[in-house]
Amino acid sequence: MEVGFLGLGIMGKAMASRLLKHGFRVTVWNRTLSKCEELVEQGASIGETPAMVVKKCKYTIAMLSDPAAALSVVFEKDGVLEQISEGKGYIDMSTVDADTSSKISEAIIKNGGSFLEGPVSGSKKPAEDGQLIILSAGDKALYEVILPVFDVLGKKSFFLGEVGKGARMKLVVNMIMGSMMNALSEGLCLADKSGLSPQTLLDVLDLGACSNPMFKLKGPAMIESKYPPAFPLKHQQKDMRLALCLGDEHAVSMPIAAASNEAFKKARSHGLGDLDFSAVYEIVKGTAPSGNAA
């Protein structure tokens, strides 16, 4: 199967690389074209624009930073819409809001193509290892055709129904995750300030009902103030913002998510946006350097 891939950031690069390793022919595009080179070394072809990728491939996947990026790659000059046509499928796996997904879906369908949203749970390492959780919604027939691709990228694919349900599920999950990260940061800080060992706190948490892979993975690095970006903080703040908008729409009060969003926003204003989202710990500790927003 020839698959197009738009967006070679932390996630897109790992996902496209995995497809190549599993025998798919992949044509890649990235806004900063030089980032395609590593994939070309692994056997990918380059499409010089999103439109050229769609022209060449029956199925094209996108993994882009945010709603603005997802929309621009579809609607702007040399974008996906210029070449989408009957028989072609577009699968957007970026984390966006349901409105963005619906706008893209409507335009793709109007031009004869089919559309599936497929945001993912799981970060850089699960993407490299094919262990993502795929939250898809939209065209069921496209879902069935693209399952061999999802099976290489993920450990489990959900089909959630009409367009928007994948986007909303993803935002709910990340809202919970962002709040948990703030709770962990406050706990580590409180342990430290009150004379307890943060590492012992992690050990205790890991043995009880609060044990989870995120605390286990991120906790030790946080204690060392190390935040190599797996999930950039600026994207977590985007997801909190979009989840809070969803809460507004449905009149769901979310004070914990709102407070967590403030901490991520503050982290961005201190220039921590490109670090891993666990860097919010620096805000909770009050040790963030002054810096420019990212």
Ligand X SMILES: NC(=O)C1=CN([C@@H]2O[C@H](COP(=O)(O)OP(=O)(O)OC[C@H]3O[C@@H](n4cnc5c(N)ncnc54)[C@H](OP(=O)(O)O)[C@@H]3O)[C@@H](O)[C@H]2O)C=CC1
Exposure on the CB side of residue 230, measured as CA atoms within 13 A: 15
User: Which residue's C-beta sits nearest to ligand X?
Assistant: 9
Cβ distance to ligand X smaller for residue 12 or 154: 12
Site for ligand X in 93-122 (CB under 6 A): 94-95, 120
For the CB of residue 110, give the shortest distance to ligand O=CCCC(=O)O in the complex, in Å: 29
Determine, following the binding rule CB under 6 A, whether residue 182 of this chain makes contact with ligand O=CCCC(=O)O. no
**Span interacting with ligand O=CCCC(=O)O, options 17-25, 56-64, 81-89, 115-123, rule CB under 6 A:** 115-123
Determine, following the binding rule CB under 6 A, whether residue 241 of this chain makes contact with ligand X. no
The CB density around residue 61, as the number of other CB atoms within 10 Å, is: 28
Cβ distance to ligand O=CCCC(=O)O smaller for residue 7 or 122: 122
Determine, following the binding rule CB under 6 A, whether residue 10 of this chain makes contact with ligand X. yes
Cβ distance to ligand O=CCCC(=O)O smaller for residue 176 or 256: 176
- Given 30, 95, 105, 114, the residue binding ligand O=CCCC(=O)O (CB under 6 A): 95
Determine, following the binding rule CB under 6 A, whether residue 84 of this chain makes contact with ligand X. no
Q: Could you tell me which residues are beta bridge partners of residue 5?
A: 28, 61
**Residue 225 three-state SS:** coil
Question: Residue 70 and residue 133: Cα distance in Å, rounded?
Answer: 20
Size of the site for ligand X (CB under 6 A): 27
Give the C-alpha distances (Å, rounded to integers) separating 36 from 9, 11, 29, 40, 133: 10, 13, 7, 6, 25
Question: What mask of x and - would describe binding to ligand X in positions 30 to 59, judged by CB under 6 A?
Answer: xxx--x------------------------
Determine, following the binding rule CB under 6 A, whether residue 72 of this chain makes contact with ligand X. yes
- For residue 217, the surrounding DSSP H or E stretch is helix 213-223
Exposure on the CB side of residue 147, measured as CA atoms within 13 A: 10
- The per-residue b/e assignment along 70-88, b for 16 or more CB within 10 angstroms, e otherwise, is bbebbeeeebbbbbbeeeb
Of 154, 74, 68, which Cα lies nearest the Cα of 118? 154
Q: What positions carry a catalytic annotation?
A: 170
Residue ranges in contact with ligand O=CCCC(=O)O by CB under 6 A = 95, 121-123, 174, 231
